[in-house]
Structure 1
């Protein structure tokens, strides 16, 4: 079901995002790196990292708050440039109440051989709209 929701988002289809984990207060989003997602120096564009953080945070919160949720805000700290073959955003709910969840996300760049390197950390607040 989570993948169907993701596929209903035109921008998610554009970046070819996939949900690879969904449930129990966590969600993982993966994006294959290709030239169209890079900036002029060959790094994954910061906007793509921000998108991955935002969506994985919202999906993780949805596992505790239900499907009717919206991100009310998030911050992201870029640790190092993202290069490689894939980007992985892993989000985990830190706290969830009746109408709001706080979620932390770590973003990793994946190299050809599968090595993961931390490239950004994000935290966000998600509200239930139900």
Structure 2
């Protein structure tokens, strides 16, 4: 099939498909004169690439598991990359939870400060909003 057909089947632009090929992510793409002839296997590769990108993988990361030299994806390598990505996401979640906790503390301090102002006590919400190192 020509590039227009694979583009319609995968919802990838012809430019993206040519880029994937240039990076060596599609394996061997056949030719008929100056035209590229894509196979069903190429369709599956493009779908896999797009799915991996939607899950946060960069094309450079996929180069190690989708290679011109290999007849099929390196599924074991891909499993390792998935595990690495999940560990990175877990670390990011923990970091965001720590930030959320600190924001909650600052919000509570500002609210307490504002409440105490109604009782004529002097309080500066800007000072209360100054981040404190995590305990």
Using structure 1 for the length normalisation, give the TM-score: 0.23
| Higher share of residues assigned strand | 1
Using structure 2 for the length normalisation, give the TM-score: 0.22
| Higher share of residues assigned helix | 2
